[in-house]
Amino acid sequence: MKGFLKIVKYLIPYKGEALLSILFVFLSAVFSLFSLTMVAPFLKVLFGETDLVTEPVKFQLNTESIITNFNYVLSQIIINKGKIYALIFVGAAVIVGTLFRNLFAYLSKYFLVPVRTGIVRDLRNQIYKKTLILPLGYFTEERKGDLMARMAQDVQEIEASVVRSLEMIFRDPIMIIIFLIGLFVMSYKLTLFVLILLPVSGFFIGRIGKSLRSTSLEGQRKLGLIMSVFEETIGGLRIIKAFNAENKMQTRFESTNKLYTRLVQKIFFRQQLASPLSEFLGIVVMVIVLWYGGIMVLGENSSLSASVLITYLVVFSQLINPVKSVTTAYYNILKGLASADRIDYILQAEISVKEIANPVELKEFKHSILYKNVSFRYEKEFVLKDANLVIEKGKTIALVGRSGSGKSTFVDLIPRFIDATEGEVLIDGINVRKFRLHDLRKLLGIVSQQSILFNDTFFNNIAFGTTDITEEQVITAAKVANAHEFIIETANGYYTNIGEGGGKLSGGQRQRISIARAVLKNPPILILDEATSALDTESELLVQEAIINLMKNRTSIVIAHRLSTIKHSDLIVVIDDGKIVEVGNHDELIKIKGGTYKNLHHLQMY
């Protein structure tokens, strides 16, 4: 039931179309019943059983009046033109009825198309939107693969199962009700008997798919695992080859794949059983009805005429398919709901970095950034412990320390990629949590170790995130970043596509594009997280020069591996194991006996 509500939730934006679709299903069912019941007059004419009606009755919208009037028209034809014409008339009625039935069936499907496609589109948009607002810490490597699987597989699964079943959900119950009404009119006694039979057979079919949902959920989870192994492999292909680890990776992948396949097999076994079993049960039920109806026809007071029983059976046989597909739809939906659950899991994921209701206005950076007793942990262990630091406007601060000591974590607190677990980070005396995220991040320029570029032109990569930018501004920024020279040498200059992730560029070139982007944004505060660490010495020089240009007249926080690049900073902060252990300028720190900075410096010099 909860699952059903979930589907209803998806449907809400499309209630108009959904209602139209239901309306046409209804009409289609009525005409379908009409065509089928034409068997009765046809047989009656054939067997000469027709009760001739000589007087029409007042036309009303009830079965009595409709049947009597129909019989009147038919009687007139038989009397005036003969039985052959009557048969033609009945045939024509069947054709017209079937025409309308199919026309309405088409219309009902037609209005369902925007619903089906819309639901899937909405889901994709929602996942994407959520991905953009989730905090950075959410995306660990394993989660990435899983997220990709959800975006691709689970949405597909919902399309395949839930959305396809929508048609059945709308159509079949209505068909069943209309047909049952028809059956009641023909023989209520026989129909009451049928109504007892149907749930019994439904129960048997129902047993098969009970655990389908949980198996399905597990299957999708395993698929996420496969995707993440695959993605990891593509990313690490160079290392895998270099270490001759192909066989090992293959074995690892195959075992994951095997587990998944086994699960899928289990799901299929159950699914395949549903159809033959329900077909068999359908025939059994049919034979029982035939037998019971036969008794009624042959019985002493013959409560049913043979032609009505035949018509009854024809209509009843048409009832079996919708009943069957309702059960199929039901299981499909259960299967799809497993995917819906997985998607919901992301959509409901907590956004730990929230904006407050009435944010403080933040237009400019005036005097300082302050870390006050800041501690932070991703999981159990604190990776930043009781950090205190003032960063004054216009100064260049350097963070040094071993890898994993918590430098990136430290700077990530300023743009609120993460929020302090304890303590606070303040800009101009106000907690960063009190600002609008957009305002806060507008003040910040960030260049990190991996330059993040998009599969687009140089122009758009540099102008990324800004609006109304002229080519001149982009060129100026590129020049400051030492990028202009190599850009104009490419085929289309600034309008050359740089390939996925900037794959067609060298590391130094990519980094200079990132720097040009920061130059163009012109933020008062700059965060450089190992911006030159991944580069060779030659491109480092060019990038270094670009960075010096970029840092002019700004407040900068620089994380660097090579101490030579930060020697001249106003303040050097040494972080070790999440704690600030030394603070001072180069000359001061180098004098501390046995100091961490002195050691690091010593190591790098010799």
Q: Which residues bind ligand ADP (CB under 6 A)?
A: 137, 140, 378-379, 383, 401, 403-409
Whichever of 518 and 534 has its CB closer to Mg ion, that residue is 534
Burial degree of 8 (CB within 10 A; 0-12, 13-18, 19+): exposed
137 binds, among ligand ADP, Mg ion, none (CB under 5 to 8 A by kind): ligand ADP
Whichever of 369 and 400 has its CB closer to Mg ion, that residue is 400
The piece of 266-274, 324-332, 390-398, 408-416 that touches Mg ion (CB under 5 A) is 408-416
For tokens 């069936």, the residue is 105
The piece of 240-248, 401-409, 439-447, 495-503 that touches Mg ion (CB under 5 A) is 401-409
**Shortest separation between residue 581's beta carbon and ligand ADP, angstroms:** 13
Running DSSP on this structure, what letter comes out for residue 534? T
Residues near 202 by beta carbon (within 8 Å), at least 6 away in sequence: 323, 327
596 binds, among Mg ion, ligand ADP, none (CB under 5 to 8 A by kind): none
**Shortest separation between residue 145's beta carbon and ligand ADP, angstroms:** 15
Burial degree of 271 (CB within 10 A; 0-12, 13-18, 19+): middle
388 binds, among Mg ion, ligand ADP, none (CB under 5 to 8 A by kind): none
C-beta separation of 586 from 427 below 8 A? no
The β-bridge relationship of strands 382-392 and 555-559 is unpaired
**Shortest separation between residue 389's beta carbon and ligand ADP, angstroms:** 15
How many residues line the site for Mg ion (CB under 5 A)?
Answer: 1
> What does 224-239 look like in DSSP terms, one character per residue?
HHHHHHHHHHHHTHHH
- The answer to whether 165 contacts Mg ion (rule: CB under 5 A) is no
**Shortest separation between residue 431's beta carbon and ligand ADP, angstroms:** 21
Whichever of 65 and 131 has its CB closer to ligand ADP, that residue is 131
Ranges within 278-307 binding Mg ion (CB under 5 A): none
Whichever of 325 and 408 has its CB closer to ligand ADP, that residue is 408
Whichever of 406 and 507 has its CB closer to ligand ADP, that residue is 406
Whichever of 281 and 384 has its CB closer to ligand ADP, that residue is 384
CA pair distance 232, 234, nearest whole angstrom: 6
Whichever of 280 and 378 has its CB closer to ligand ADP, that residue is 378
**Shortest separation between residue 576's beta carbon and ligand ADP, angstroms:** 10
CA pair distance 290, 480, nearest whole angstrom: 89
409 binds, among ligand ADP, Mg ion, none (CB under 5 to 8 A by kind): ligand ADP
DSSP H helices in 48-82: 63-81
Q: CA 379 → CA 38, 73, 382, 404, 572, distances in Å?
A: 72, 82, 8, 15, 28
- The answer to whether 339 contacts Mg ion (rule: CB under 5 A) is no
C-beta separation of 145 from 137 below 8 A? no
**Shortest separation between residue 227's beta carbon and ligand ADP, angstroms:** 20
Whichever of 408 and 514 has its CB closer to ligand ADP, that residue is 408
Distance from chain centroid for Cα 419 = 27
Whichever of 408 and 539 has its CB closer to Mg ion, that residue is 408
Task: State the virtual CA torsion across 264, 268, 271, 275 in degrees, nearest 10.
Answer: 170
- The answer to whether 408 contacts Mg ion (rule: CB under 5 A) is yes
The β-bridge relationship of strands 368-377 and 382-392 is antiparallel
**Shortest separation between residue 498's beta carbon and ligand ADP, angstroms:** 27
Whichever of 319 and 418 has its CB closer to ligand ADP, that residue is 418
44 binds, among ligand ADP, Mg ion, none (CB under 5 to 8 A by kind): none
How many residues does this entry show for the chain? 606
**Shortest separation between residue 569's beta carbon and ligand ADP, angstroms:** 17
Site string for Mg ion, 359-398 (x = CB under 5 A): ----------------------------------------
**Shortest separation between residue 405's beta carbon and ligand ADP, angstroms:** 4
Direct distance between the N- and C-terminal alpha carbons of the chain, in angstroms, rounded to an integer: 71
Tokens representing residue 271 in the block: 């699914």
Running DSSP on this structure, what letter comes out for residue 497? B
CA pair distance 114, 124, nearest whole angstrom: 15
CA pair distance 327, 311, nearest whole angstrom: 25
**Shortest separation between residue 409's beta carbon and Mg ion, angstroms:** 8
91 binds, among ligand ADP, Mg ion, none (CB under 5 to 8 A by kind): none
**Shortest separation between residue 116's beta carbon and ligand ADP, angstroms:** 38
Whichever of 379 and 468 has its CB closer to ligand ADP, that residue is 379
> What does 358-388 look like in DSSP terms, one character per residue?
SPBP-----SEEEEEEEEEESSSSEEEEEEE
Whichever of 363 and 380 has its CB closer to ligand ADP, that residue is 380
For tokens 């037998």, the residue is 291
Helices and strands (H and E) in the chain: how many: 22, 10
405 binds, among ligand ADP, Mg ion, none (CB under 5 to 8 A by kind): ligand ADP
Running DSSP on this structure, what letter comes out for residue 435? B
404 binds, among Mg ion, ligand ADP, none (CB under 5 to 8 A by kind): ligand ADP
Residues that bind Mg ion (CB under 5 A): 408
